[in-house]
Structure 1
Amino acid sequence: MTDAERLRIAWLVRGSLALLFAYHGLVPKLLWLSTDEVRMISAHGWANAAPIAYAAGLAELLWAALLLIFRQARWPLLVSAVLLLGLLLDVLWFAPDLLRQAFNPFSTNMLGLALCLIGWWVSAPRLAAD
């Protein structure tokens, strides 16, 4: 694989992950508070979900921007993978009924994790033999 191909794939991965975090921060949390978001937050025992959803939405938008700003670094891919896995485990524990829905957290987060892995591979330092 050429360096140009690796760079294109890396950008596609970063852009896709940034879109994933930005969309899920903006649409179901900031613009239109989703009933599923409220259910996930309420499952933790927190009565007022709106401010928590708002803060989470802002954090996801910030993370989307950081994924693009630190495009040469690999650590954002690792942090993204940890976040996606942690959020998936949270849903498994606190709101497993959401996993039966269409476009559920399992499918979304597993695809995000796959993107993290692809990004990790294509951004790995090249060996002299490559």
Structure 2
Amino acid sequence: MASADPRLHASLARWGLALLFLYHGIVPKLLWLSPGELEMIRAHGFEQARLLAALAGVAEVVLALALLVVRRRRWPLALSALALVGLLVDVAVVAPGFLVQAFNPVSTNLTALFLCAIGWLAERPENPQSVASSR
């Protein structure tokens, strides 16, 4: 049986991540500001929670676009993984109550980290069918 094309795996991983970042950047931060987003930001002691939420939303949209547009480089996958780990650790330290809610950063971020790993491995340079280089 022939193995699946790694380019398909890479594309699916990138599209999955991009849709996740687009949704989480646009819906709970830019269109309908989530009380949970405000609470997490205010837990840091920031007064301008609405502004920071909007900036975070824009950053997530930019990262989503980078995942889709910058196809020949792996840095958007690495940046996504770093952001996901960093934000998960941040929530665990600053607002751990969010980790036990029904829809929480643990399930979302760990799933997204697996997508990062799938994309990274599917695009590794030694893969002859890879769509990206290691640069």
Do they superpose with TM above 0.5? yes
Query: What percentage of aligned pairs have identical amino acids?
Result: 52
Give the Cα–Cα distance (whole angstroms) in 2 for the partners of residues 109 and 16 of structure 1.
12
* Cα offset, 1:71, TM superposition: 1.3
CA separation of 1:102 and 1:121: change in aligned 2, threshold 3 A: same
Report the structure, 1 or 2, having the larger helix content: 1
Match of residue 94 from structure 1: 94
Query: How many Å separate the matches in 1 of 2:47 and 2:31?
Result: 20
Q: Deviations over 1:66-120 (max 9, x none)?
A: 1111112111111110010000000001010001111200110001111101111
Matches within 5 A, 1:1-130: 5-126=5-126
List structure 1 segments (4+ residues) > 2 angstroms apart after TM superposition: none
> Unpaired segments of 5 or more residues in structure 2?
129-135
Secondary structure, aligned partner of 1:71: coil
Residues paired across the two proteins, number: 127
RMSD: 1.5
Where structure 1 has 5 or more consecutive residues not aligned to the other structure, the ranges are none
Aligned-partner Cα distance in 2 for 1:51–1:32: 13
Q: TM-score when scaled to structure 1? A: 0.92
AA of the residue aligned to 2:70: F
